[in-house]
Amino acid sequence: MALVMANEKMDANQKAQKINQDARRYGTFAEIGAGQEVVRWFFRAGGAASTVAKTISAYDMAVSDAIYGPTDYYVSRQRLRSMLDYEYDLLLERLDKTRGGKTAFFVFANTVATRREAGRGWLGIRFQAESGSDPSEIIIHVRMLDKESVRQQEALGVIGVNLVHGAFYWHHDPEALIRSLLDDLTWERVEVDVIRFAGPAFARVDNRLMALQLVKQDLTEAAMFTAKGEAVQWAEVLHQKPAFVQRGSFHPVTKATLDVLERALEQFVQEPELQGETPVVLMEMTLRHLTTDAGIDELDFLNRADMLSALGKTVLISNFRRFHRLAAYLSRYTKRPIGLALGASKLGEIFDESFYNESEGGLLGGLGQLFKNPARLYVYPHLNLNSGHKLTLENFPVPPHLKHLYAYLLENRFLQGIRNFNPELLPIRSRDVLARIQSGDASWEQLVPPVIAEIIKRDGLFGCRMNGKRDA
């Protein structure tokens, strides 16, 4: 069957018809929660007998546990994986002898909860790209943003069809597959904040780049992956845990970068509200940090991710230009304290009233979002290399009409200066270090942590040149 052309637009019914007419594809639909909204499209499109081997909906928890095994959470990646494992093995056991070699088998599964405010769920497909091949897999996490459950169910059905269609006909082009997930939908209705590709059809896919694509293509405002490059969902990482975030370009990570992180984190863990808890540490890169006049350089992005991986850090990619949007997003998944580390030069963004929308309550509304939970901002001094002036919380030039507000935030420790910083590191600038790396000036090695110097030299990150040549 011919591949769908890049400019061809198909609705969910047309996609279901196309799949039903594809004699190669045959499999199982297993859906828990919100009804059998995905398989329903295939039944309505006609000819589903050529596509659907079985459909199952194990609503009762005891029944679900009896089939797929016990679980702590029914709407979870673990439950989805157990569904895919069980149903795929069963499908091959029953049909491989009679249909194997001429049929590309698949299992689609979802486990979903619809809610008045916003539903959420895990969807996945395990499939043979060609008959007889080892299976490949795509897993996504979605938030359904409609206010009515019936609308959330409709959106679930559409994105499920899009996922199945994308797996079959766009697995050769994961970026186009991601783009197709919101066909017949809008970002106001559905958010996809996790995607994970695995298996032979995606042998060359880097899931860190796919997380970047989710944000770049507006399927979500933020996506996350671990130091091992595994895509993770916010709730999996943050559920009722304190969180600490450092925003930066990490281009590259310098000794000053780590001093900001380590000194701020030392103060955050001493907050009485933490009660000895270890916070989740996130290193955030925004699209603004990654974008140049030529767009986003994926290799450059991976260079930065490799450094943060070497430090064992979880990476957050976001489209949050404003700090209060980041804090509000974090607050969806944890009510525990939040810490944010930043340089004093960024304080201007916090108190710039033009950065806030009137629909959000302007500056006061934005600060209300920023400092709830509660949140603390840990501010690192900024040295002006031309004048030698050191900008701190104490001498920050607050607009006159905001002085009382600023004093309130200081008095109540929402804003805290970072103590015990190393003044010798204040002159370090990432752009200067990057220029030295690219020019072959070996002095850059003294400006970054040893583990970072090692990985930059070993992997030739950022165009690193050793002995006049790019390091191999």
User: Number of structural domains, the chain?
Assistant: 3
| C-beta separation of 320 from 256 below 8 A | no
Pair (187, 254) in one structural domain: no
Identify whether 218 is part of a domain: no
Asked if residue 400 is part of any domain, the answer here is yes
pLDDT digits (tens, 9 = 90+) for 399-445: 999 999 999 999 999 999 999 999 999 999 999 999 999 999 999 99
Nearest to 144, CA basis, from 215, 193, 183 = 193
| Coil vs helix vs strand at 178 | helix
With respect to residue 219, please indicate whether it lies within any of the assigned structural domains. no
Assigned domain for 256 exists? yes
Is 276 inside a domain boundary? yes
* pLDDT(361) > 80: yes
Question: In which order are the strands placed within the sheet that holds 243-247?
Answer: 231-232, 222-225, 314-318, 280-286, 243-247, 338-343, 375-380, 415-417
Using DSSP bridges, classify how beta strands 375-380 and 338-343 pair: parallel, antiparallel or unpaired: parallel
CA-closest candidate to residue 219, choices 250, 246, 179: 179
Is 331 in the same domain as 443?
no
Q: Answer yes or no: is pLDDT of 133 > 70.
A: yes
DSSP code of residue 184: T
378/281 same-domain check = yes
The answer to whether residue 9 scores a pLDDT higher than 90 is no
**Is 437 in the same domain as 454?**
yes
- State whether 243 and 174 are in the same domain: no
pLDDT higher for 360 or 287? 287
pLDDT beyond 50 at 472: no
286-337 pLDDT, tens digit per residue, is 999 999 888 999 999 999 999 999 999 999 999 998 999 999 999 989 999 9
* Tokens 């030299």 -> residue: 457
User: Could you tell me the two tokens for 227?
Assistant: 């130091």
Instruction: Indicate whether 39 pLDDT > 90.
Output: yes
What's 289's domain CATH number?
A: 3.40.50
d(CA 469, CA 460): 10
**DSSP secondary structure string, 338-365?**
EEEEEEGGGHHHHT-GGGS-GGGTHHHH
> Is 461 in contact with 307 (CB distance < 8 Å)?
yes
Per-residue pLDDT, 218: 95
pLDDT tens for 214-267 read 999 999 999 999 999 999 999 999 988 999 999 999 999 999 999 999 999 999
Q: What angle do CA 152, 155, 156 make, to 5 degrees?
A: 85
Q: In CATH, what number is assigned to the domain containing residue 49?
A: 3.90.950.20
Q: What is the pLDDT of residue 8?
A: 67
Task: Give pLDDT, residue 3.
Answer: 43
For residues 84 and 6, give the distance between their C-alpha atoms in angstroms, rounded to a whole number.
30
Interior angle at CA 138, CA 135 and CA 139, nearest 5: 130
72 and 178 in a common domain: yes
Q: Are 32 and 65 in contact (CB under 8 A)?
A: no
374 band by pLDDT with thresholds 50, 70 and 90: confident
- pLDDT for the residue 466: 62
Residue 318 lies in a domain: yes
Please compute the mean of the pLDDT values over residues 120-130 and round it to a whole number.
97
The two tokens of residue 336 are 């525990």
- What's the token pair of residue 190? 């559905």
pLDDT digits (tens, 9 = 90+) for 45-71: 999 999 999 999 998 889 999 999 999
Do 124 and 193 lie in one domain? The reply is yes
Label residue 11 left, alpha or beta by phi (over 0 means left) and psi (-120 to 50 means alpha): beta
Q: 3-state DSSP helix/strand/coil percent for the chain, to nearest 5? A: 45, 20, 35
Q: Are residues 374 and 268 in the same domain?
A: yes
Mean pLDDT of 89-115: 94
* Full domain range(s) for residue 465: 430-470
Residue 4 lies inside a defined structural domain of this protein: no
Same domain, 322 and 360: yes
**Does 160 fall in a domain?**
yes
- Tell me, yes or no, whether 284 and 195 share the same domain: no
Q: Spell out a b/e string for 450-470, using b for 16 or more CB atoms within 10 Å of the CB, else e.
A: eebbebbbebbbbbbbeeeee
pTM, to two decimals? 0.92
Residues 435 and 419 in one domain: no
- Strand ranges (DSSP E) for 309-349? 314-318, 338-343
Residues 96 and 59 in one domain: yes
Averaged pLDDT, 169-189: 96
